[in-house]
Structure 1
Amino acid sequence: IGKNIAKGLGVGGDASLGSECAKADQNDITEALQGADMVFVTAGMGGGTGTGASPVIAKLAKDAGALTIAIVTKPFDFEAKKRLYQAEQGIEELTKEVDSLIVIPNDKLSEIQQISGILESFKAADDVLSKAVRGIADIIVGSGFINVDFADIKKIMQESGGKALMGTGDGEGTSRAIEAAENAITSPLLEDISIDGSTGILINVTASSNFTVAELNEACNHIRARASSEVDLIFGLVINESMGEKVRITVIATGIDGAKRKKIQEEVVQEEDKNQTSFDLENTINNETLNLEEPSNGNGSEPEDLHPLGDDEHFEIPAFIRKPKK
């Protein structure tokens, strides 16, 4: 893109120039996107081309009717503040143009265990990206005993939308279902994000025919317990005898932003209630009636928030199998 602007020499970290390059060739981009049901936009944020062009390309994809998912990386903390700020701005703009977004912070590479060198660390980040893309593709084109198809993915990604967590986990042994579920929703490569309070979850299980209904129940409940009470949950099951005693679970969780905003709003309301000094006759009567009928624990504590979120939000990755397109 931008062959008449950058002339193949790059944009020198200028995001606005990167955006211009994409806009200048938007007809060619639109032509390349024609007929696509789903488009993945991948980029390294903080530079010029990825930061500036990715929101433009994402908008063109979405305008063409494609389900649009972005998977991007953030710069290391040691990089210049300008680059970090530009990455955040680019992610903010990109979020407006996609159905779901996954972010991989480069600083998380240092947390990968059993990796001996820098090449292996960066390869791990690439694997996260490739597993996410391949995993969703496998869900769509594969077939299962209980199918999850493109319409299911589109529903979860579009209706809940925003920041997404996508992951795949394996489990073996007596607690293999819960182990696989937990591994799927935690990843050292994702920023401090969690599925807590998410409003849309897709669960896909791959196992041999010795997998039981009880194990399926354990896995789904382990994941659902972390989500919003109003979560829209879709699950699928693929029987693959080559799995043997192993179980593999892929999770796509969305609506994490919305859950955090809701929690913040609830905390504000609770704080206002604590500071309320006006006299409310109806509430006073009700409270007195309650005190007569049911003993109070006397500590005045409020119910705990069942869905706490992390301070930041960035996401994970899947790998799976399902129903062929019709």
Structure 2
Amino acid sequence: MAIEFEEEIQVPTKIKVIGLGGGGGNAVGRLVDRKLPQVDLIVANTDAQALKGCRVSQKIQLGCKITKGLGSGADPEIGKNAALEDRERIREALEEANIVFIAAGLGGGTGTGAAPVVAQVSRSLGALTIAIVTLPFTFEGRKRALVAETGLKELKPKVDILIAIPNQKLIELVKKEDSIIQAFQPADDILYQGVSSLSDLVSLPGLVNVDFADIHTVMNSKGEALLGFGEAKGNGRALNAARLALANPLLEEKSITKARGALINITGPKDLTLNEVNEVMSIIHKETDDDAQIIFGAVIDERLEDLLKVTVIATGLEA
């Protein structure tokens, strides 16, 4: 008697990115031009005018009954209640996601207040939930900084991974002649690289494959994290890209040496070699604790030609 085996069906990993409030909505809006295949972009805001001007197609206006579309007035309690009012619409938008990125600027009303609500909805759906948030500039004042600090504490236990970017660091990185859009580019890059690296790992052909279960293992409930990335061409591209990934100036106060886990993505053209993978991993291994759980993937993207990219997401950074 012949025995027939059912063919295993590979269900693709679904990634969704939701930007909250002005800061988060702007950051996700700027991802539109960067063309992330197989990633859904969503924006949610209490400010109807801001939503109207955003190029992201999937939009959620929060708290119409509470705010009348006029925003939260920098009050996180209003932002929270607005998100609770539209909790079901948020749930519908995030359904079927395996990984959800939440982008928000903390210190104002909508991003600060809505982020914990969205995070709770995301995790209730079983999605791995990653928040990438910005903290106010020093010139925005002590009150806004305190609001952001309180919001960060409330958000942290409600997500699997939390990456906080101090906007003040941007001032140290930009040139005097840079536009505001150029100034925010490094922060935008953190969000883009986080999303694109996980998307690459689960969708591109791999020399070393990583699936959603691997990602979940190293990122589930791991708390504070850092994300570093680097890219290089030509001779020594692997070493140079790895060193750049470990030297992210936006996150210099945190160190990979304290990480309890790390997810490494190496993306290169079709001539990517096993020796280059070894060079990258050797550098990273020297910087991490011997007991840290490290998962890495190496994937091929023929569009890169000579370019090699390394992304490091280090998790569990609590002292």
State the TM-score, normalizing by the size of structure 2.
Answer: 0.75
Looking at structure 1, the residues matched to 266 and 282 of structure 2 have their Cα atoms a distance apart, in angstroms, of 13
1:148-180 residue CA offsets vs partner (Å, 9 max, x unmatched): 222221111105x11111222113454322211
Deviations 1:267-317 (CA, angstroms, capped at 9, x unpaired): xxxxxxxxxxxxxxxxxxxxxxxxxxxxxxxxxxxxxxxxxxxxxxxxxxx
Q: Deviations over 1:121-146 (max 9, x none)?
A: 02332233223223322222222121
Q: Which runs of 5+ in 2 are unaligned?
A: 1-61
What one-letter code is carried by the residue in structure 2 that aligns with 1:75? P
Over 3 Å counting, the alpha-carbon distance change for 1:201 and 1:36 in structure 2 is: same
1:46 matched residue in structure 2 = 107
The verdict on how the C-alpha distance between 1:27 and 1:119 changes in structure 2, with shifts beyond 3 A counting, is closer
CA offset digits 1:46-95 (Å, max 9, x no partner): 00111111001101110111111111110001112111011011111111
Q: Could you tell me how far apart the structure 1 residues matched to 2:226 and 2:282 are?
A: 18
Q: Do the aligned partners of 1:42 and 1:72 also contact (CA within 8 Å) in 2?
A: yes
SS of corresponding position for 1:5: helix
Which amino acid letter does the alignment assign opposite residue 278 of structure 2?
A: N
The sequence identity of aligned pairs, in percent, is 46
Gaps of 5+ in 1: 261-326
Q: Aligned equivalents of 1:111 and 1:232: distance in 2?
A: 33
Partner residue, 2:225: 164
Task: Please provide the CA RMSD for this pair.
Answer: 2.0
Q: Is contact 2:174-2:183 (8 Å) kept?
A: no
Equivalent of residue 128 in structure 1, options 184, 190, 193? 190
Q: Taking structure 1 as the reference length, what is the TM-score of the superposition?
A: 0.73
1:213 offset after TM fit, Å? 3.3
Give the aligned partner of residue 276 of structure 1.
none
Matches within 5 A, 1:30-179: 30-112=91-173, 116-158=178-220, 161-179=222-240
For 1:231, the equivalent position in structure 2 comes to 292
Higher strand share: 2
Question: 1:222 offset after TM fit, Å?
Answer: 0.9
2:252 and 2:233 map into 1 onto residues whose CA distance is: 26
- The SS at the match of 2:314 is strand
Q: Which residue does 2:84 correspond to in 1? A: 23
Report if the CA contact (8 A) 1:165-1:185 is conserved: no
Larger Cα-atom Rg: 1
Amino acid at match of 1:8: G
Contact 1:104 1:191 in 2 (8 A): no
Q: Is the 8 A contact 2:106 2:152 kept in 1?
A: yes
Separation (CA, whole Å) in 1 of partners of 2:238 and 2:134: 30
